[in-house]
Amino acid sequence: MTLLAVTVLGHDRPGIIAETTGVLAELGANLEDSTMTILRGHFAMVVVAHAEVTPAEAEDALRSLSADGSLQVLVREIPYEDPLAALGSTYLLSVHGADRPGIVATVTGLVADAGGNVTDLSTRLSGELYVLLAEIDLPGTVDPEELSRDLAAVGSDLGVDVSLRVLDPDVL
Amino acid sequence: MSLLPPLPPGRVRQSVLAPETVLSSPAEEVDPLDPDVLSLAADLLATQRSAAGCVGLAAPQVGVPLRVFSLDVTGHPRTKICHGALVLANPAVVSASRWERGREGCLSVPDLTGDVKRATRLVVHGVVPGTGAEVELATDGFEARALQHEIDHLDGLLFLDRVAGAHALHPRQTYL
């Protein structure tokens, strides 16, 4: 048994997911976690599946998707991993402002220096407006108010608004 | 008590878009009896009505850093309690409860919508421009959500500061 990461990227059209997962099903692969979105109009998907075939065999079977050059399909073997234990509380970092290079690097660099782990992230460019949303696990040793102040200072240098809030657990 | 004073004719003002700094700065309290404030209120309502699907407009959204907004959720399918068209100065939330998640858009962030948790039971205090009458209005559901969204604007906050998760922001599909 191997764990495969299947990445599909490229021109969006109806049917990409059905075809990709159809081929994987024929190979006897069982899908585990996956994510798919549209990035600037491009289809972008990563599927983690567990299968009896090699990455090369899977990539070959998926050739029908990449044959016309509209999609790039990449299959790699990845090791089984235990998810990182949650560090402490989950926070939502929200950044918005005028677009410029380096916003994500600077802000997430500060989070990483504090030992925070980003568990989910999305960014959007909408006209002049750049928006970053990141869910972050912070170790109990980090003072969120202090990190918040540091982030606000960095945000003010970058000309963007930064906020850090506890994420509602939404537990029933 | 009327929430809509006799208003001078309003003119449609140019609205500003994020990332304009006026949208992320707290707005100033106003003198509700100042005729310029009354005319700003009239302009907000006129501008709001000129934009399809727009149910409320705060002064910072037309580039004016003052604590005044207009609101009218009349006829919106998700409205329950409805106070009709209103303009309010120096508003403050008195009480808020029963938080629920819902999708919001904003004239100042035209291409995105976000899932935001808001109180569905709300009491707001404010002053009616022109008359100076102090009012307290209690509402629910969609009107409560719209009021919180407008009051946030006066505190320099956009719905982007309140979205519910890393994947709670969406490209806008429609304008209604």
Residues in B 66-85 with any Cβ partner in A closer than 8 A? none
Assess contact for B107 and B58: CB atoms under 8 A: no
Give the domain range for residue B84. Answer: 21-171
Of A77, A105, A124, the residue at which a domain comes to its end is: A77
Subunit contact A124:B169, Cβ cutoff 8 A: yes
Residue B15 lies in a domain: no
CATH code of residue B79: 3.90.45.10
Chain A interface includes B168 (CB < 8 A)? yes
Q: Is the pLDDT of residue A85 over 90?
A: no
Q: Is the pLDDT of residue A25 over 90?
A: yes
Residue B1 lies in a domain: no
Q: Is the pLDDT of residue A71 over 70?
A: yes
pTM flag (> 0.90): yes
DSSP assignment of A113-126 equals HTT-EEEEEEEEEE
List the single residue in A96, A121, A122 with the smallest CB-CB distance to B160: A96
**Per-residue pLDDT, B174:** 64
CA-to-CA dists, residue A121 to A62, B122, B168, angstroms: 28, 32, 11
Subunit contact A161:B17, Cβ cutoff 8 A: no
Q: Is the pLDDT of residue A170 over 80?
A: no
**Per-residue pLDDT, A73:** 98
Query: Which residues of chain B fall below pLDDT 50?
Result: 176
> What is residue A61's three-state secondary structure?
helix
Residue B104 lies in a domain: yes
Q: Which of B118, B157, B162, B167 to mutate to test the interface with A (most CBs of A within 10 A)?
A: B167
CATH code of residue A22: 3.30.70.260
Determine the Cα–Cα distance for residues B29 and B155; give it in Å rounded to an integer: 11
**Per-residue pLDDT, B166:** 95
Query: Among A60, A58, A64, which Cα is nearest to A28's?
Result: A58
Of A31, A53, A77, the residue at which a domain comes to its end is: A77
Chain B interface includes A168 (CB < 8 A)? yes
Residue B90 lies in a domain: yes
**In B, which residues are within 8 Å of A120 by CB distance?**
165-167
Residue A82 lies in a domain: no
Residue B136 lies in a domain: yes
Split into its structural domains, chain B has a count of 1
Split into its structural domains, chain A has a count of 2
The pLDDT confidence band at residue A89, using thresholds 50, 70 and 90, is confident
Give the domain range for residue A59. Answer: 2-77
**Per-residue pLDDT, A110:** 96
A51-55, A139-143, B13-17, range with the lowest pLDDT: A139-143
Residue B11 lies in a domain: no
Chain B interface includes A100 (CB < 8 A)? no
- Based on the domain organization, do A66 and A127 belong to the same domain? no
Chain A interface includes B136 (CB < 8 A)? no
What is the ipTM metric for this complex? 0.89
**Per-residue pLDDT, B176:** 47
Residue B133 lies in a domain: yes
- Based on the domain organization, do A69 and A119 belong to the same domain? no
